[in-house]
């Protein structure tokens, strides 16, 4: 099982793997997880400077404290507009879905992604795009179906990811953005005096090809 990301960039974010030390089971519970789901969160932290680096520092500091001074709170990734930090190995569980430690719980089966939402954030929209890029990469890397990408709310009922749910009214629009991003990229080759190659996702390839065919072009669709 893959433990850590090896890519250097996803979306517009630099990827930094900085795994917390073992020792405090309320932060890094250990054990084995074969992830089948991805849980999307907002951090719930709007304080100044509460970016991905700050959350990385926080979880590392928490991991060094004795159990008596911490609570069950951890997650695999913190994401903002510039950085993606990995805190917990992909093959270990974390405490982020609020539904206990049962065999079917999100804590035992889902990779947790926290999207930063601080008040002085320069580009929250890009943070979401980076989180989508991370989600799609994880789906491909670990073979997780897009229907297994869920909001925190679906596990414990908590209103999270709160920025997304408040803005869109549900998780559907964000989920559809993930679906679109996960579609394989294809090229539509159009031949009529000149050769035109158009890169597009799987959703648009057929309709684009049909449009050119109706205008008398010779068209083929090829995988990149």
By residue range, what is the domain housing residue 208?
Answer: 185-223
Query: Would you place residue 45 in the very low, low, confident or very high pLDDT band (cuts 50, 70, 90)?
Result: very high
The reply to whether 57 falls in a domain is yes
Percent of the chain residues past pLDDT 90, beyond the cut: 81
Strands of the sheet containing 185-192, edge to edge, are 194-201, 185-192, 218-223
Instruction: Give residue 220's pLDDT.
Output: 79
CB atoms within 10 A of CB 72: 16
Contacts of range 95-101, beta carbons closer than 8 Å, 24 or more positions apart? 95/26, 95/27, 95/29, 96/39, 96/41, 96/152, 97/39, 97/152, 97/155, 97/156, 98/152, 98/155, 98/156, 98/158, 99/155, 99/156
Same domain, 44 and 107: yes
Same domain, 192 and 132: no
Same domain, 53 and 117: yes
Least Cα distance to 87 among 140, 21, 149 occurs for 21
For the chain, give the mean pLDDT: 92
| Letter string b/e over residues 7-26, b meaning 16 or more CB atoms within 10 A of that residue's CB | eeebbebebbeebbeeebeb
Same domain, 178 and 217: no
Instruction: Give residue 103's pLDDT.
Output: 96
123 Cβ contact list (under 8 Å, min separation 6) = 81
Same domain, 70 and 143: yes
Instruction: Give residue 40's pLDDT.
Output: 98
CB atoms within 10 A of CB 204: 14
Instruction: Give residue 195's pLDDT.
Output: 59
Same domain, 174 and 189: no
Same domain, 100 and 193: no
Q: Within the chain, what is the greatest distance between any pair of CA atoms?
A: 74
Instruction: Give residue 101's pLDDT.
Output: 95
- Confirm whether pTM is higher than 0.95: no
The reply to whether 1 falls in a domain is no
Q: What is the pLDDT of residues 102-153, one digit of tens each?
A: 999 999 999 999 999 999 999 999 999 999 999 999 999 999 999 999 999 9
Same domain, 177 and 191: no
The reply to whether 2 falls in a domain is no
Q: Which has the higher per-residue pLDDT, 202 or 104?
A: 104
Flag whether pLDDT at 25 surpasses 70: yes
Domains: count for the chain = 2
CB 72 within 8 A of CB 156: no
Separation between Cα atoms, residue 96 and residue 199, nearest integer Å: 38
Q: What is the pLDDT of residues 161-198, one digit of tens each?
A: 999 999 999 999 999 999 999 987 666 666 765 555 66
Same domain, 27 and 101: yes
Same domain, 90 and 150: yes
Domain at 20, CATH number: 3.40.80.10
Angle at 134 between CA 132 and CA 139, to 5 degrees: 95
Same domain, 38 and 142: yes
Query: Would you place residue 204 in the very low, low, confident or very high pLDDT band (cuts 50, 70, 90)?
Result: confident
């Amino acid at each position: 099982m893959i433990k850590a990301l090896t890519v250097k960039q996803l979306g517009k974010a630099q990827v930094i793997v900085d795994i917390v030390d073992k020792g405090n089971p309320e932060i890094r519970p250990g054990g084995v997880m074969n992830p089948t789901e991805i849980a999307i969160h907002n951090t719930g932290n709007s304080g100044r400077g509460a970016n991905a680096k700050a959350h990385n520092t926080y979880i590392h500091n928490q991991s060094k404290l004795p159990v008596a001074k911490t609570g069950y709170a951890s997650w695999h990734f913190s994401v903002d507009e510039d950085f993606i930090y990995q805190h917990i190995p992909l093959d270990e569980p974390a405490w982020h879905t609020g539904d206990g430690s049962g065999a079917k719980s999100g804590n035992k089966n889902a990779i947790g992604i926290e999207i930063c939402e601080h008040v002085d954030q320069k580009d929250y929209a890009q943070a979401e795009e980076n989180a989508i890029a991370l989600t799609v990469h994880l789906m491909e890397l670990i073979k997780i179906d897009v229907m297994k990408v869920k909001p925190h709310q679906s596990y414990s009922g908590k209103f999270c990811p709160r920025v997304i749910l408040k803005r869109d009214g549900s998780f559907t629009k964000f989920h559809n953005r993930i679906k679109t991003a996960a579609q394989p990229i294809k090229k539509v080759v159009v031949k009529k005096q000149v050769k035109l190659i158009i890169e597009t996702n799987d959703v648009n390839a057929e309709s684009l090809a049909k449009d050119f065919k109706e205008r008398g072009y010779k068209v083929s669709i090829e995988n990149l």
